[in-house]
């Protein structure tokens, strides 16, 4: 699928930009013409993504922020910083995720469970809520939540991470129903298995033969963030790997 130019002159905020899919999506969005705002927890990995993005497209903006410790006011401050700089936000891509590994619920550390729910669901909503006014100012604003397979993560041992995946799928439908057809577009993106650090906490890399590089799903991120993603308003798009 060709996505060149579909994000030209658009502004896209990528949460979790230093992760596997986040980094790949940042490069793909820049290649498609977007100015990217790279949000992540650690500065050094963000700087590496910054260099990769700048090499293929408009110069990005770095915004270090730890979603685990961020409060609603921190997300409001982010939105307030973007408004005078850009005046709007065309796209918001949620790639940041928290997962400590497969553990029976009854043996899960309460802090680990709460952390997963917060980063994978609550913080994603707080960031979206803060950015909705900016997304509403764009011609075709879109918020895209990257989700894991609900069948797999809704089974045993996935803990708070699995619960948060189900919550996000409900959030996509609920928020779109409230906003309606004329507001920002809310979509979910379910990529296939990817070779990432998160997946490595659940699967042995040498035995995980179905996982693909995150770059195979980067174009799907671009499509959903662009006007071409309109058919998936309020829905979860199950992406196939790029060929």
pLDDT in tens, 170-189: 999 999 999 999 999 999 99
Q: Which pTM does this prediction carry?
A: 0.94
pLDDT at 217: 94
Residue 119 has pLDDT above 60, yes or no: yes
pLDDT at 3: 46
**Quick one: average pLDDT of 38-45?**
95
Task: Write the CB contacts of 145 (distance below 8 Å, at least 6 apart in sequence).
Answer: 94, 124, 168, 171, 172, 186, 187, 188, 189
The answer to whether the CB of 126 falls within 8 A of the CB of 75 is yes
Among residues 148, 241, 122, 131, which one has the least CA distance to residue 186? 131
**Quick one: average pLDDT of 79-86?**
96
Instruction: Give the strands of the sheet with 91-94, arranged side by side.
Output: 61-64, 35-40, 11-15, 91-94, 142-146, 185-190, 236-238
The CB density around residue 146, as the number of other CB atoms within 10 Å, is: 27
pLDDT in tens, 145-157: 999 988 889 999 9
pLDDT at 237: 93
Domain 11-238 has CATH 3.40.50.720: yes
Distance CA 73, CA 178 (A): 23
pLDDT at 195: 81
Reported as a pLDDT band with limits 50, 70 and 90, residue 5 is: low
Answer with the residue of higher pLDDT: 199 or 163.
163
Residue 113 has pLDDT above 70, yes or no: yes
The answer to whether the CB of 161 falls within 8 A of the CB of 153 is yes
The answer to whether the CB of 15 falls within 8 A of the CB of 25 is no
Among residues 52, 55, 93, 104, which one has the least CA distance to residue 188? 93
pLDDT at 2: 38
b/e 68-104 (16+ beta carbons within 10 angstroms → b):
eebeeebbeebbeebeeebebbbbbbbbbbbbbeeee
The answer to whether the CB of 65 falls within 8 A of the CB of 46 is no
For the chain, what is the largest distance between any 2 Cα atoms, rounded to a whole number of angstroms?
A: 49
Q: What are phi and psi of 123, to 5 degrees?
A: -65, -35
Residue 25 has pLDDT above 90, yes or no: yes
Distance CA 7, CA 227 (A): 9
pLDDT at 1: 35
Reported as a pLDDT band with limits 50, 70 and 90, residue 52 is: very high
Reported as a pLDDT band with limits 50, 70 and 90, residue 203 is: confident
Least confident of 134-138, 140-144, 151-155: 151-155
Pull the structure tokens for residue 165: 């995946």
The CB density around residue 166, as the number of other CB atoms within 10 Å, is: 16
Domain boundaries in the chain?
A: 11-238
Residue 4 has pLDDT above 60, yes or no: no
Residue 209 has pLDDT above 80, yes or no: no
Distance CA 45, CA 214 (A): 16
């Amino acid at each position: 699928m060709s996505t060149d130019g579909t994000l030209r002159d658009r502004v896209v905020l990528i949460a979790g930009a230093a992760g596997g899919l986040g980094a790949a999506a940042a490069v793909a969005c820049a290649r498609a013409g977007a100015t990217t705002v790279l949000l992540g927890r650690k500065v050094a990995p963000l700087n590496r993504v910054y260099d990769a993005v700048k090499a293929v497209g408009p110069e990005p903006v770095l915004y270090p922020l730890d979603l685990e410790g961020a409060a609603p006011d921190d997300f409001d401050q982010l939105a307030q910083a973007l408004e005078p700089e850009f005046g709007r936000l065309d796209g918001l891509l949620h790639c940041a995720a928290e997962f400590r590994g497969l553990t029976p619920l009854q043996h899960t550390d309460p802090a680990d469970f709460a952390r997963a729910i917060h980063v994978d669901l609550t913080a994603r909503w707080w960031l979206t809520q803060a950015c909705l006014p900016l997304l509403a100012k764009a011609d075709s604003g879109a918020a895209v939540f990257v989700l894991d397979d609900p069948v797999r993560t809704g089974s045993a041992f996935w803990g708070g991470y699995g619960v948060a995946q189900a919550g996000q799928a409900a959030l996509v439908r609920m928020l779109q129903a409230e906003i309606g057809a004329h507001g920002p577009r809310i979509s979910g993106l379910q990529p296939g298995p990817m070779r990432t650090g998160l997946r490595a906490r659940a699967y042995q890399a040498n035995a995980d033969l179905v996982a693909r590089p995150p770059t195979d799903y980067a174009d799907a991120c671009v499509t959903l963030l662009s006007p071409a993603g309109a058919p998936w308003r309020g829905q979860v798009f199950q992406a196939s790997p790029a060929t």
